[in-house]
Amino acid sequence: MLKILFFYPDNPLDINQGNNARVNALLHYFKANNFEIDFVGEESAIFSKEDLLEFQNSKLVKKAQLIRKRKKSGLRYLFAHSILNKIKHKTGLFTRLGVGQQKDFEDILRNNQYDYILISYVLFAPLINNKKLLKGAKTIVDTHDFFTAQFKDHKKCKDIGTVFKTELKLLNQFDAIWAISVEEKFIFNQFLPHKNIELIPHGIDDKHQLKSENPSIDIFYVASPNPHNVASIKWFFKDVYPLLKKDIKITIVGRIINFIENYDNVTKLERVEDLSEFYKQSKITMCPMLSGTGLKIKVVESLSYGTPVVCNERGIDGLLNKINNGCLTTNNHKEFANYIHTLLANKDFYNQQASNAITFFNSSLSLKYVHQKLNNFFNI
């Protein structure tokens, strides 16, 4: 039985966000293969001790605990963190560990023995700085994203070359790197050719047979309120929505709704217990995405139901095929609206896109496909 220490800062049960859904799927894989998992999260307003208790009751892991950030005050913080970062010329972009979190995590390492240590996000690479405490455990970083691309427009990004070098240096600390998208795997392979870099996409069950024969939602969209999603949904309602027929029923789920005005034909829900019911009842989904990187979990979920997706070019990042994949892609607002109208009005066109979605999903995103890649990695 393999024993894994798994760090992920957020709540894996809140699957309204794509990154959480990915971690949730990994935990189910580990449980199905009898891995022993010690889970460590980050205490926050969205991952409280009450949430932790619910997570523990899910039986997905053997043990779970939260490490919390202390207040950034006093001489100890000044000398241990603030001044040290300045001496090392750190921009702060890759400095995400709070005061005391390093010590809390190292205490866990000190008192336990693991086969693998899995860290989510390269931002938390310092958690494995003390190699003696690893005791021979293999280290893995599940990247989730290419952060240099995310940080390129940040006010602290003075030199994109320095930011990229920092990300590569942090990635190089790990024995293995899991990339969620084909583009990220390509980039990491070019600059870290000696590393074990695996493409591990988000895998889920083929659910197209569960799709309702008479869907009640015309367009479905789910998103968290990150800057990319906020800018993209604002573009949709400013440029695309005015071109759509007003009898088209749109349902939007997630905290992104706090950035959307009220419209008669738009249903807004901040949180739901089960997204599957919405996917089952949706004719099409959309993924307005003007910027950002990485595989879009909402696109994978939609394709698993054989549901066509209308998106911008960034919406198909991470997919192995860029055409004939169930996604209709454009950056033009008029064409975006036209794709929606055509899918809803032309049954033959809709059925062809749905068929493309099912075929492509089963070839490169299905649970069977991803689990086989994980089996190969862990030599199962």
Provide the CATH number for the domain around residue 173.
3.40.50.2000
pLDDT of residue 162: 85
Same domain, 357 and 371: no
Distance CA 88, CA 37 (A): 35
Helices 297-304 and 18-32: crossing angle in degrees, nearest 10, is: 60
Same domain, 49 and 184: yes
Same domain, 234 and 199: no
Distance CA 350, CA 263 (A): 26
Under a CB-based contact definition with an 8 Å cutoff, are residues 354 and 307 in contact? Answer: yes
Q: What's the DSSP call for residue 82?
A: I
Q: What is the pLDDT of residues 70-107, one digit of tens each?
A: 655 443 433 344 333 433 444 567 777 877 899 999 99
Same domain, 343 and 299: yes
Helices (H), the chain: 18-32, 49-57, 74-77, 83-87, 101-110, 147-151, 160-171, 182-191, 227-235, 276-280, 297-304, 333-345, 347-364, 367-377
pLDDT of residue 100: 86
Distance CA 16, CA 10 (A): 12
3 state DSSP class of 91? coil
Same domain, 20 and 101: yes
Query: By residue range, what is the domain housing residue 11?
Result: 3-204+367-377
Same domain, 22 and 164: yes
Which residue type is seen at 187?
I
Q: What's the DSSP call for residue 59?
A: T
Same domain, 161 and 221: no
Same domain, 81 and 187: yes
pLDDT of residue 86: 37
pLDDT of residue 96: 77
Q: Residue 31: how many CB atoms within 10 A of its CB?
A: 16
Low-confidence stretches of the chain (pLDDT beneath 50): 73-90
Record the pTM. Answer: 0.79
Structure tokens at 250: 């749109």
Which of these, 292, 290, 294, 351, lies nearest to 326 by C-alpha position? 351
Helices 18-32 and 367-377: crossing angle in degrees, nearest 10, is: 60
Distance CA 311, CA 320 (A): 16
Tell me how many domains the chain contains. 2
Same domain, 199 and 215: no
